[in-house]
Amino acid sequence: MDTISNTPLNTNVIRPTFDRSRLKSRIVHLGFGAFHRAHQALFTNEMLEKTGSDWGICEINLFGGEDLITQLRAQDHMYTVAEKGAKATDVKLIASVTESLHPSFEGKRAVLEKMSEEQVAIVSMTITEKGYCADPATGRLDKNNALVKADLDNPREPSSAIGYIVEALRIRRELGLKPFTVMSCDNVQENGHVARAAVLDFANLVDQELAGWIEANVTFPCTMVDRIVPAATPETLAEITELVGVADPCGIACEPFRQWVIEDNFVNGRPEWDVAGAEFVADVVPFEEMKLRMLNGSHSFLAYLGYLGGYKHISDTMTNDSYRKAAFDMMMQAQATTLTMPEGTELEAYAKLLIERFTNPSLKHQTWQIAMDGSQKIPQRMGGSLRHHLAAGTEYKWLAMGIAGWMTYISGVDEENKTIDVRDPMVEQFREIYQQYGKEPAVVKAILGIEAIFGTDLIQNEGFVEAVTKAYQLIISKGARAAVASL
């Protein structure tokens, strides 16, 4: 079979020149998904190009993605990334991956043994918000999560990422090896702190002595990651085949923009990612909040109201002046005003750049894809800003409309009475609420009563409940496009 590892590629493909034989699996990455391929693995590839160091990556998918791992192996763990600008596309061959594992193939023990190898210095993760098994309201481990319950019953045979990390750290401690750094690369507010809380909570339930050792010896740096990476579609893969000269089922397309801000807090060494454009800082949180609120918050706003308005892609929403203006106003008036940033940060320039990125017609980023897992995203992307405005008595109508758009979306029926494929860990709870209330205004208060998403404070604010109810009624009666135009 012809693959990118044994076929001459088109001359436009940018190939690595570093010696792959020198690489060791010093990073174990959990979650070989689209974003990781276009972000951390690409940064590592470019770092290797400039340093000639030996920081290779072992890729692990704990759930699903078996086909992707099989395909990656068939092409010697190499794949391509197409960086699609509005006017030009760069194609890069990525060769920073050394090996891959999947518990379905090699078994759980092989995964744990790999994580326990002496040279492994970092375990990084792109496992999405739900992978942390944390309660969104408290940020602590959700002891009622089915995966957590199963792992606590049998911690030596874990299934969750948290269970694997704790068991691998236990083995390392037993072997007298240095621990690894746990590095979250997910869009989770203070992701390192969330990972640390989940790991320590789990460890304390398994072995308090082990938990004490982890607390004293393991670091959990926060990171801020930014790059728009749509899920691969048959159209994307066909385009990559044309650009590369051979089919690459692991190939991925993304925008040219990328950003990675990393808290410089590593217990066992780290790569020089800064030579590839990453930024090491003492405190990631301000940058993280800027991105979560301004980019991700407006992305969610456009995803729900865009999908309901009949727009398949984010770039399609930008062709509507009302959506474009509402997204910019949300960034500047609802989100930027709630941030405390280091001196010299230009938030208006950042907002204009985001609108430019959203407008890129080459990127087919589906509103449906961004709309997934809203119950896990809304608290981080809109909750903090909302509470800021409620305390200050300032305007938050864009946030109310975004939340109302999400509530309408999770009803499971769009404006043309077609079924919406709602993907969310709390989808059953949403169905029950809608079965009870239908699309009547009372449904708003019932959804705002979900403590895991909205806490206990927001439902007690009558002004907020009324604002979301009015926005919801407007979407139901006039449609999403008219509701956005009203802003």
Contact predicate 361/317, CB 8 Å: no
Q: Please compute the mean of the pLDDT values over residues 355-365 and round it to a whole number.
A: 91
For 12-68, list the strands marked E by DSSP: 24-30, 55-60
Q: Is the pLDDT of residue 3 over 90?
A: no
Structure tokens given for 369: 């894809």
Identify the pLDDT of residue 5: 82
CA proximity to 180, closest of 108, 116, 125, 103: 116
Identify the pLDDT of residue 129: 87
Q: What gap in Å lies between CA 196 and CA 218, rounded to an integer? A: 9
**97-101, 342-346, 435-439: least confidently modelled range:** 342-346
Any idea which residue has 């903090």 for tokens?
Answer: 384
Q: What gap in Å lies between CA 100 and CA 77, rounded to an integer? A: 8
Torsion sign (Cα): 475, 480, 483, 487: positive
State the number of CA atoms in the 13 A half-sphere of 101 facing the CB.
20
Q: Where does the pLDDT of residue 374 fall: very low under 50, low under 70, confident under 90, or very high at 90 and above?
A: very high
pTM of the model: 0.86
Q: Is the pLDDT of residue 394 over 70?
A: yes
Q: What gap in Å lies between CA 267 and CA 219, rounded to an integer? A: 6
Q: What percent of the chain has pLDDT over 90?
A: 92
φ/ψ bin of 277: left (φ > 0), alpha (ψ from -120 to 50), beta (otherwise): left
CA proximity to 404, closest of 428, 386, 426: 386
Q: Where does the pLDDT of residue 20 fall: very low under 50, low under 70, confident under 90, or very high at 90 and above?
A: very high
CB atoms within 10 A of CB 153: 8
Identify the pLDDT of residue 189: 83
What letter does residue 273 receive in the DSSP assignment? Answer: G
Q: Round the average pLDDT of the chain to a whole number and report it.
A: 96
pLDDT, tens digit (0-9, with 9 covering 90-100), for 142-170: 999 999 999 999 999 999 999 999 999 99
The CATH-assigned architecture of domain 285-485 is Orthogonal Bundle (1.10)
Question: SS3 of 375, please?
Answer: helix
Burial-class residue 144 by CB neighbours within 10 Å (0-12, 13-18, 19+): exposed
Span between the terminal Cα atoms of the chain, in Å = 55
pLDDT, tens digit (0-9, with 9 covering 90-100), for 111-137: 999 999 999 999 999 999 899 999 877
Q: What gap in Å lies between CA 257 and CA 350, rounded to an integer? A: 12
| Domain spanning 20-281, CATH class | alpha beta
Q: What gap in Å lies between CA 478 and CA 487, rounded to an integer? A: 13
pLDDT, tens digit (0-9, with 9 covering 90-100), for 294-340: 999 999 999 999 999 999 999 999 999 999 999 999 999 999 999 99
Total residue length of the chain: 487
Contact predicate 221/183, CB 8 Å: yes
Question: SS3 of 454, please?
Answer: helix
Q: Is the pLDDT of residue 389 over 70?
A: yes
Identify the pLDDT of residue 429: 97
For the chain, the structural domain boundaries read 20-281, 285-485
Q: Please compute the mean of the pLDDT values over residues 281-301 and round it to a whole number.
A: 94
Identify the pLDDT of residue 188: 86
CA proximity to 126, closest of 41, 208, 216: 41
pLDDT, tens digit (0-9, with 9 covering 90-100), for 195-210: 999 999 999 999 999 9
Structure tokens given for 274: 């800064």
Angle, helices 384-392 vs 397-409, to 10°: value is: 140
Alpha helices in 313-346 (DSSP H): 314-317, 321-329
Q: Please compute the mean of the pLDDT values over residues 213-233 and round it to a whole number.
A: 95
Q: Is the pLDDT of residue 2 over 80?
A: no
Q: Is the pLDDT of residue 229 over 90?
A: yes
Any idea which residue has 């590369």 for tokens?
Answer: 244
Identify the pLDDT of residue 364: 85
Phi, psi of 441 (to 5 degrees): -55, -30
Q: Please compute the mean of the pLDDT values over residues 251-268 and round it to a whole number.
A: 97
Q: CA of 220: how far to CAs of 125, 267, 271, 379, in Å?
A: 11, 9, 16, 22
Q: What percent of the chain has pLDDT over 70?
A: 100
Q: Where does the pLDDT of residue 1 fall: very low under 50, low under 70, confident under 90, or very high at 90 and above?
A: low
